[in-house]
């Protein structure tokens, strides 16, 4: 599938030029990060919680405990999970044309709790999305830990993707003659050097997969 | 006010050790960024949209157009606005103890549309939060642009703050004897060099306030 199916809810209304229905754009956005913002309705009002996620080709996995008042319900309520990368500022000639370069995916749907083998696989996906290599390096969840974890799966069935990139677009209007500088200011994220926990004995080296961790382009 | 008042909705339930009621923590989190995730309920289901904000001592300002299907209602519906900074990964000895270092503020309430002088002041606050110095450098909004802009104000009356920082806390458990490296991986964001728009004539220098733009510690 190279195109994302559009629904009434994901049809781009505002800033249509930023809407994308390319499946490759969705995959790249989900691959580039590990933190999403989960929206749920609690007692009729919205609640937005940051949490980690793992993405496969057809679903997101995330912890059910993050909005426990809402996500412990049966049946599960609908959610909206949004993954956003802020790529920089658009500095136009006029305040009105200012903006942000960003990539954003919004996933709508009803999550389901997963169990058994799929729960373990989902936790592997989530762990590897955050910290590639740690599933094989760290001690894996034991039975008690697994029982204490609620893992939810949200299908990538209803998705909206928006991308803004590039310079301000007021370069052909009257403001361009003002002589003001305009352009964009790219924003980059990167990991600093790993900080060992205080109890780690001197001489235990940083494992190669941790030293090599890079962000997609979050 | 140095303490944040706690309500039923903002009382910390999970991960209580991460909850903060220090007003200084809230102010620092809001000052360190310019993108929030706005949650609104549309047709009974949640919708989470990234957008820019500006913070004063007692309110957030943001554009009303971002979730136009919902936020053009009168009266305004309740929203949850969440500002999150991801500060790094917590790499524990066990998968179960992995986590993220972060700072997060969730603001609940009903926004109101502002007009007249306050609208202009709110736009100044929002612009200066994103791009300090641009309110005085760029062309300010004219009447037509102001009329095309809906600016909402959300009081900082009901707020929840959570902060996680530091190393993994499984250093005193049985996993610590496994000899595995553990620690945290700090994540930093920074602006790259400004990129001039294609129409900017050669020789127009990057203004000093743009060259000097830094992120709080987003």
CATH code: domain of residue A26: 2.30.110.10
Determine the Cα–Cα distance for residues B34 and B36; give it in Å rounded to an integer.
Answer: 7
What average pLDDT does this structure show over A148-155?
94
Interface probe for A, chosen from B12, B48, B160 (most Cβ of A below 10 Å), is: B48
Question: Which of A98 and B71 is assigned the larger pLDDT?
Answer: A98
Distance (Å) from the C-alpha of residue A27 to the closest C-alpha of chain B? 19
What average pLDDT does this structure show over B77-102?
97
Query: For A60-108, what is each residue's pLDDT tens digit?
Result: 999 988 766 667 666 788 999 999 999 999 999 999 999 999 999 999 9
Q: Is the pLDDT of residue B217 over 60?
A: no
User: What are A145's two structure tokens?
Assistant: 């830990």
- Residues of B within 8 A of A183 (CB-CB) are 194-197, 200, 206
pLDDT score of A216: 64
Question: Which of B13 and A20 is assigned the larger pLDDT?
Answer: A20
* A89 in a structural domain: yes
Within 10 angstroms of residue B142's Cβ, the number of other Cβ atoms is 12
* A109 in a structural domain: yes
Interface probe for A, chosen from B63, B90, B138, B209 (most Cβ of A below 10 Å), is: B138
pLDDT score of A74: 67
- Residues of A within 8 A of B180 (CB-CB) are 137-139
pLDDT class of B1 with cuts at 50, 70, 90: low
What average pLDDT does this structure show over A48-65?
95
- Residues of B within 8 A of A100 (CB-CB) are 34-35, 52, 130
pLDDT score of A119: 97
Tell me if A38 sits within 8 A of A79, measured CB to CB: yes
Determine the Cα–Cα distance for residues B193 and B187; give it in Å rounded to an integer.
Answer: 19
Q: Is the pLDDT of residue A147 over 70?
A: yes
What would the DSSP string read from start to end of B172-209? TSGGGGG----EEEEEEEEE---EE-TTSPTT-PPPHH
Query: For B117-128, what is each residue's pLDDT tens digit?
Result: 999 999 999 999
* A208 in a structural domain: no
Question: B21 — phi, psi (to 5°)?
Answer: -115, 20
Q: Is the pLDDT of residue B211 over 70?
A: yes
* B154 in a structural domain: yes
Determine the Cα–Cα distance for residues B187 and A173; give it in Å rounded to an integer.
Answer: 39
Query: What is the domain range of residue B124?
Result: 16-170+180-188
pLDDT score of A217: 43
Task: Say whether the peptide bond before residue B75 is cis (omega within 30 degrees of 0).
Answer: yes
Distance (Å) from the C-alpha of residue A157 to the closest C-alpha of chain B? 16
Tell me which residue in B88, B189, B197 faces A171 most closely, judged by beta carbons. B197
pLDDT class of B56 with cuts at 50, 70, 90: very high
pLDDT score of B69: 64
Domain count, chain B: 1
Among residues A36, A214, A122, the alpha carbon closest in space to that of B95 is found at A122
- Residues of B within 8 A of A154 (CB-CB) are none
* A195 in a structural domain: no
Task: Kindly tell me the sign of the dihedral angle through the C-alpha atoms of B194, B198, B199, B200.
Answer: positive
In chain A, the DSSP E strands lie at 19-20, 35-42, 45-55, 59-63, 79-91, 99-109, 112-113, 151-155, 158-164, 183-191, 195-196
Q: Is the pLDDT of residue B218 over 50?
A: no
* A99 in a structural domain: yes
A–B interface: beta-carbon pairs under 8 A: 294
- Residues of A within 8 A of B138 (CB-CB) are 91-95, 98, 180
Tell me which residue in A45, A100, A197 faces B78 most closely, judged by beta carbons. A45
Which residue in chain A is spatially nearest to B82 when comparing CA positions?
A48
pLDDT class of B68 with cuts at 50, 70, 90: low
pLDDT score of A218: 38
Distance (Å) from the C-alpha of residue B58 to the closest C-alpha of chain A? 20
Which residues lie closer than 8 Å to B144 by C-beta, 6 or more apart?
A: none
Cβ–Cβ below 8 Å for B35 and A86: yes
pLDDT score of B67: 66
pLDDT score of A76: 80
Within 10 angstroms of residue A149's Cβ, the number of other Cβ atoms is 16
User: What are B4's two structure tokens?
Assistant: 């944040």
Cβ–Cβ below 8 Å for B186 and A184: no
* A93 in a structural domain: yes
What average pLDDT does this structure show over B46-58?
96
Question: Which of A3 and A198 is assigned the larger pLDDT?
Answer: A198
* A218 in a structural domain: no
Least confident of A77-91, B60-74, B135-149: B60-74
Q: What percent of chain A has pLDDT over 90?
A: 75
pLDDT class of A58 with cuts at 50, 70, 90: very high
Tell me which residue in A9, A171, A198 faces B198 most closely, judged by beta carbons. A171
Calculate the average pLDDT of chain A: 92
pLDDT class of B3 with cuts at 50, 70, 90: confident
Distance (Å) from the C-alpha of residue B110 to the closest C-alpha of chain A? 10
């Amino acid at each position: 599938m190279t195109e994302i199916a559009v629904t009434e809810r994901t049809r781009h209304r505002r800033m249509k030029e930023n809407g994308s229905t390319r499946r490759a754009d969705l995959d790249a956005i989900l691959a580039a990060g590990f933190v999403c913002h989960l929206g749920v309705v609690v007692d009729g009002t919205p609640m937005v919680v940051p949490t980690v996620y793992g993405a496969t080709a057809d679903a997101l996995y995330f912890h059910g405990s993050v909005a426990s008042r809402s996500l412990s319900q049966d049946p599960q309520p609908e959610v909206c999970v949004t993954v956003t990368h802020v790529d920089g500022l658009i500095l136009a000639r006029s305040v009105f044309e200012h903006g942000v370069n960003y990539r954003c995916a919004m996933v709508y749907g009803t999550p389901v709790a997963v169990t058994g083998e799929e729960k373990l696989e989902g936790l592997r996906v989530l762990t590897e999305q955050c910290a590639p290599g740690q599933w094989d390096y760290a001690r894996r969840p034991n039975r008690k830990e697994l029982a204490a974890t609620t893992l939810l799966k949200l299908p990538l069935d209803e998705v909206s993707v928006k991308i803004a990139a590039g310079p301000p677009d007021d370069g052909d209007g009257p403001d361009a003659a003002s002589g003001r500088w305009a352009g964009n200011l790219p924003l980059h994220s990167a990991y600093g050097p790993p900080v060992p926990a205080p109890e780690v004995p001197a001489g235990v080296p940083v494992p190669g997969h941790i030293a090599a961790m890079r962000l997609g382009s979050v």
